[in-house]
Structure 1
Amino acid sequence: MDRRMRFWDVALIVMVCMSVTVTKSNGARPLNNQLQEGTGVKWAFLVAGSRGYGNYRHQADVCHAYQVLKSGGLKDENIIVMMYDDIADSIENPIPGAIINQPDGPDVFQGVPLDYTGLDANINNFYAVLRGYKSGLIGGSGKVLNSKPEDTVFIYIASHGNKGIIGLPDDNLIYADQFLERLKINYKKMVIYIESCNAGSMFEGLLRDDLNIYATTSSNSDENSHAFYCPGGIMPPPPTYTVCLGDLYSISWLEFSDFYDRANKTLHDQYDVVSRSINSIHTYYMSHVMPYGNMTMNEDLLETYLGRAKPARANDNYHFNRTTTHEHSNKRFNTTTRLVSQQDAHLLYLNLKVIYIESCNAGSMFEGLLRDDLNIYATTSSNSDENSHAFYCPGGIMPPPPYYNVCLGDLYSISWLEFSDFYDRANKTLHDQYDVTWFRTLFTGEEYMSHVMPYGNMTMNEDLLETYLGRAKPARANDNYHFNRTTTHEHSNKRFNTTTRLVSQQDAHLLYLNLKLEKAPDDSMDKSKAQIELDDEISHRKHDDQSVYLIWKLLFGEDTPSTMMANLRSVGQPLVDDWDCLRMLKNTYEHHCGVLSHYGLKYMQAFANMCNDGISKKQMIAAASQACHVKNDVP
């Protein structure tokens, strides 16, 4: 009988402050057509595109990426690192000589090859390394991507960015068209991860799907990306830190790579968990992890690019140790979020084939009792020693409408239910659902955390979800749980009025400067200096806002500024058709009005709209000259 027909017609779901899902199967997922690890060399190019202690997170992300690759067996001679290297020994660093990427996490700076640092971390050396042009280097270690046709290449960039651009430490910009043009090097397959605001604009409408290049980005073309492990936010760093320790997309893929067996997980597995985990943070301004390029490559094993390493589950620095009290691990989850503990629930159907239980101490229903040689597979909302948690509660994460005085669901339950709504059950397994539910529950960041637990016959976790829950069209086309992609997201944002706090990359520097000012002793030189830095940053932002706004009005008229920052192109189109025009307008603006701040780079969208509307250099000069009487009227 066809595997897809081997399920009971009825799935019994019982909810009494818990949930149990039941049915039967002996099915198994067909093996993926996965790329086997070949004989080629694994190459990697890791780039932190900023400088300054306030941008701590970018270098921390890159150092962590090095540790992931090193643990996977890549050799230092094949890992090239470009970072300014002004963080570890900064006078502001609470642990001199060390960099951490998680609260109370390990030092990820140890052993990192400092190939291109300081003034050597520049755009000339970036492209020389990328193209394998050793003769084009000026300074640095001399290492380049000397890959051969049988080799794989992994490129990871963490930086500030905006529409069609990514920043480098020397303040030069990587433009999307030039970046992709310079990827014409020797390789068998290439994977690219980019962490920046508007990162999707580096590939959208530009990266063809018939090349052996697969990319994911921290955001689509119209969104900010977000810093993470920030003071005052979800899972804050120790109080001695005034900076964010990482970026949300980056720490998600990095911790996935630490935690899971890369010999058994694919690029798509990682993408699924990372994108779903980021959505589960439920911030008001959400970003979407985006895939681009050759989608057939997403079935390649992670070890093909990141190497093979023993997963960290047995000695996990990034998640809870399973103990009675969790005293050590709970320190990492002192947040401003709020989940509500449950106290009343019990199990109704122990003898059924697939069982999901939502209750406090749910693991005690199976631990030491459920044999692994039966056709029974179970997952629970908590282990034997923990509460489970209600969700969508008044005063908590994603509260219900104000006229409700109850919690609308339970965390484990809404996680597996929304997964079942969102994904194609004909292509997802019980294990896929468990992975995402486990990770989502962990990343909610509650002080008293519970662990989703599996029990019973683990071979059944490769059964397709449709075997038990039936087949349904996934909700991706009409998604109630995530943002619709629009310019403003006005409708969808109403669902994300939360008490959690993520920090956009644009605002992470302001957070740092404010905390620096707060922590400086009153009436000290440090206090005065911090106040000047903060005032200068705010002044520069105001100058960028006012100047670009005035230029737009001069070019298009008084009634048009509402369209200045709108993405007026269809999904799948590149930011601009004439990239030389984009560079020209940006350079013309800076010649007359001063260099754009990192914040001001958001106006690349306005410059792109000018190009697409046919604005010439002569018109831009005239408008910029009138708008900016004094070029250096900014700090």
Structure 2
Amino acid sequence: MGVSSSITLKVILVLAVLVVAVQPPPCGAATDRLSTILRSAVDKDGEDENSGGTKWAVLVAGSNEYWNYRHQSDVCHAYQLLKKGGLKDENIIVFMYDDIANNEENPRKGVIINSPNGSDVYAGVPKDYTGEEVNTDNFFAVLLGNKSAVVGGSGKVLNTKNKDVIFIYYADHGAPGYVAMPSGSDLYADQLIAVLKKKHEAGTYKKMVIYIEACESGSMFEGLLPDDWNIYAMTAANTEESSWGWYCPGEEPAPPPEYTTCLGDLFSIAWMEDSDCHNRKKERIEEQFERVKYRTFNNGTEMGSHVKEYGNMDIRKDKLSKYQGYVAADSKHCWVPPTNNVNVATMPMPGGVHQRDAELLYLWEKYKRLGDKSEMKEKVLKEIGEKMQLRAHIDGSVAAIGDYLFGTQKAHSILKSVRKTGPLVDDWECLRSMVKIFEEHCGALGEYGRKHMRAFANICNNAISLAAMGKASMAACDGHSAQ
């Protein structure tokens, strides 16, 4: 055999080994093996990402009920993204009520999708905390690694060491200084910051990245998160605007016709589809921020929000793979921003839905699809009417309280006042007390009514006493609280 033949044989043997290595195995674990091979090859780029530390993640869907489908869908997609990136189930902690996949209204039983043509993102998700276990106390216990404080669930907590990195993703409804949970007490910004401070002081992590999908989510960190805790936060909206549901019925792109609810949220879709589509070993957090900010702003249309960032800006230079792991990118489904020669002012833009209007959209879609079922249609129409009446009651009650406390000339400007810097309120206990007093006299705020949290904060900031608030609430609601 000549030299050239010998070289050719060696090349063939090498190619054969490579073919066997990347040959798609029958199913399941084989796909993970292929991802591991690809990750190993890419990881040898001279960068010791975590210096021997472990990647951890906490994923939280803070809502329940079918009309909130999008939040659990977002969290399930995030799990699949991280799992494919190499994070282990033992290091991914999932909070989700788990009432969507097998809900009687779900057209695809046992399946959750996060985009119109998307695959199932529910399969394999480790549902560590479900139902009533999805609450603020368990969430804080998990963050602090306090296993003895957890009630129910898998018992998994952030058992992190000082070299570990943490990725936290939360999706749900929010309000100024507040994000929701389906069970237990509410989660206020000052409480979250206090827990993060404890985590920082314990020295049990190296770096932490937090993404929050919620209305007014910037208010969870504005004027509150220091830049020396090695924590970076990205939020779906600034301190005074709604975030947006996406892939919603009647909008474009629309979900499959059998769906009556939004499949995802705009900010969440933006960051996850970006992570799915790009090489996380090359893309840095600052690049993801710019792409996500552009897409979520939706070219400046009214259907979009301003993505914000807080905390340690040095973390922006880190590669996504440091927190989200690495897997070969799927560029086929990448969102592509308009080119410079496109007149975005005249270009038709995709549509979304205000988070707080998503329930009304769901009910309207449900009504339209009932056909000749007049009794059921009447029931849904009545529910829509009751929701609108409740909104009017809450809006009117808050306005009347403002008039009582500040006079009609000043009330509106005081209640709507927005601080450009600094936290929402000076006294967080005062804010919680004001909300409690209002709800005692005027009824529960609910997801819609919590948009008035800024008004209650401004009542506190103007040194109104709890007694005065009580009198104003009684006068405004006249003892008739909405149920």
For this structure pair, what is the TM-score category when the shorter chain's length is used for normalisation?
0.7 to 0.9
Secondary structure of 1:391's counterpart equals coil
Residue aligning to 2:330 = 312
How far did 1:234 drift? Answer: 2.3
How far did 1:196 drift? Answer: 0.5
Residue aligning to 1:410 = none
Go from structure 1 to structure 2 and tell me whether the alpha carbon gap of 1:157 and 1:165 turns closer, same or farther (over 3 Å shift): same
Whether 1:95 and 2:108 are equivalent positions in the alignment is: yes
Residue aligning to 1:622 = 471
Counterpart Cα distance in 2 of 1:546 and 1:302 = 46
Residue aligning to 2:242 = 224
Deviations 1:218-262 (A, max 9, x none): 011011111111111121111111111111110000001111111
Residue aligning to 2:20 = none
Counterpart Cα distance in 2 of 1:221 and 1:589 = 22
Whether 1:553 and 2:403 are equivalent positions in the alignment is: yes
How far did 1:281 drift? Answer: 4.2
How far did 1:505 drift? Answer: 0.6
Secondary structure of 2:446's counterpart equals coil
The one-letter code matched in structure 2 to 1:311 is: A
**Superposition misfits of 4+ residues, deviation over 4 angstroms:** 317-320
Go from structure 1 to structure 2 and tell me whether the alpha carbon gap of 1:551 and 1:319 turns closer, same or farther (over 3 Å shift): closer
Counterpart Cα distance in 1 of 2:378 and 2:152 = 37
Secondary structure of 2:416's counterpart equals coil
2:80 to 53, 57, 67: 67
Counterpart Cα distance in 2 of 1:317 and 1:107 = 16
Residue aligning to 2:191 = 178
Counterpart Cα distance in 1 of 2:144 and 2:466 = 32
- Asked whether the 8 Å contact 1:44–1:78 carries over to 2, the reply is yes
Percent identity, please: 48
Go from structure 1 to structure 2 and tell me whether the alpha carbon gap of 1:237 and 1:511 turns closer, same or farther (over 3 Å shift): same
Counterpart Cα distance in 2 of 1:272 and 1:511 = 30
Whether 1:42 and 2:42 are equivalent positions in the alignment is: no
Counterpart Cα distance in 2 of 1:568 and 1:190 = 29
Go from structure 1 to structure 2 and tell me whether the alpha carbon gap of 1:275 and 1:34 turns closer, same or farther (over 3 Å shift): farther
- Asked whether the 8 Å contact 2:217–2:236 carries over to 1, the reply is yes
- Asked whether the 8 Å contact 1:156–1:193 carries over to 2, the reply is yes
Go from structure 1 to structure 2 and tell me whether the alpha carbon gap of 1:564 and 1:602 turns closer, same or farther (over 3 Å shift): farther
1:526 to 376, 390, 395: 376
- Asked whether the 8 Å contact 1:105–1:317 carries over to 2, the reply is no
Whether 1:579 and 2:436 are equivalent positions in the alignment is: no
Counterpart Cα distance in 1 of 2:414 and 2:252 = 33
Deviations 1:573-610 (A, max 9, x none): 11011111111101111111111021110100100110
Counterpart Cα distance in 2 of 1:610 and 1:171 = 25
Residue aligning to 2:343 = 391
> What does residue range 247-326 of structure 1 map to in structure 2 within 5 Å?
247-313=265-331, 316-317=332-333
Whether 1:169 and 2:171 are equivalent positions in the alignment is: no
1:115 to 121, 128, 133: 128
2:442 to 593, 598, 612: 593
> What does residue range 378-417 of structure 1 map to in structure 2 within 5 Å?
391-392=343-344, 396-397=347-348
How far did 1:532 drift? Answer: 2.8
Deviations 1:132-161 (A, max 9, x none): 111111111111111111111111100100
Where in structure 1 are there 5+ consecutive unaligned residues?
Answer: 1-32, 321-338, 340-357, 359-380, 382-388, 398-443, 445-499
Secondary structure of 1:537's counterpart equals helix
Residue aligning to 1:145 = 158
2:263 to 245, 255, 265: 245
Counterpart Cα distance in 2 of 1:181 and 1:152 = 19
Decide which moves more: 601-610 or 284-293: 284-293
Residue aligning to 1:433 = none
Whether 1:234 and 2:82 are equivalent positions in the alignment is: no
Counterpart Cα distance in 2 of 1:76 and 1:525 = 47
- Asked whether the 8 Å contact 2:116–2:255 carries over to 1, the reply is yes
- Asked whether the 8 Å contact 1:37–1:303 carries over to 2, the reply is no
Residue aligning to 2:413 = 563
**Structure richer in helix, relative to its length:** 2
The one-letter code matched in structure 2 to 1:271 is: F
- Asked whether the 8 Å contact 2:50–2:165 carries over to 1, the reply is no
Go from structure 1 to structure 2 and tell me whether the alpha carbon gap of 1:171 and 1:551 turns closer, same or farther (over 3 Å shift): farther
Secondary structure of 1:541's counterpart equals helix
- Asked whether the 8 Å contact 1:132–1:144 carries over to 2, the reply is yes
Where in structure 2 are there 5+ consecutive unaligned residues?
Answer: 1-45
Counterpart Cα distance in 2 of 1:598 and 1:72 = 34
Go from structure 1 to structure 2 and tell me whether the alpha carbon gap of 1:393 and 1:247 turns closer, same or farther (over 3 Å shift): closer
Residue aligning to 2:17 = none
The one-letter code matched in structure 2 to 1:259 is: C
Counterpart Cα distance in 2 of 1:279 and 1:521 = 37
Residue aligning to 1:417 = none
Counterpart Cα distance in 2 of 1:628 and 1:134 = 44
How far did 1:564 drift? Answer: 4.3
Residue aligning to 2:455 = 606
Counterpart Cα distance in 2 of 1:392 and 1:155 = 34
For the aligned residues, what is the CA RMSD? 2.0
1:55 to 45, 68, 78: 68
How far did 1:280 drift? Answer: 3.8
- Asked whether the 8 Å contact 2:402–2:415 carries over to 1, the reply is no
Residue aligning to 2:169 = 156
Go from structure 1 to structure 2 and tell me whether the alpha carbon gap of 1:34 and 1:233 turns closer, same or farther (over 3 Å shift): farther
The one-letter code matched in structure 1 to 2:363 is: L
- Asked whether the 8 Å contact 1:64–1:108 carries over to 2, the reply is yes
Secondary structure of 2:205's counterpart equals coil
Counterpart Cα distance in 2 of 1:287 and 1:532 = 32
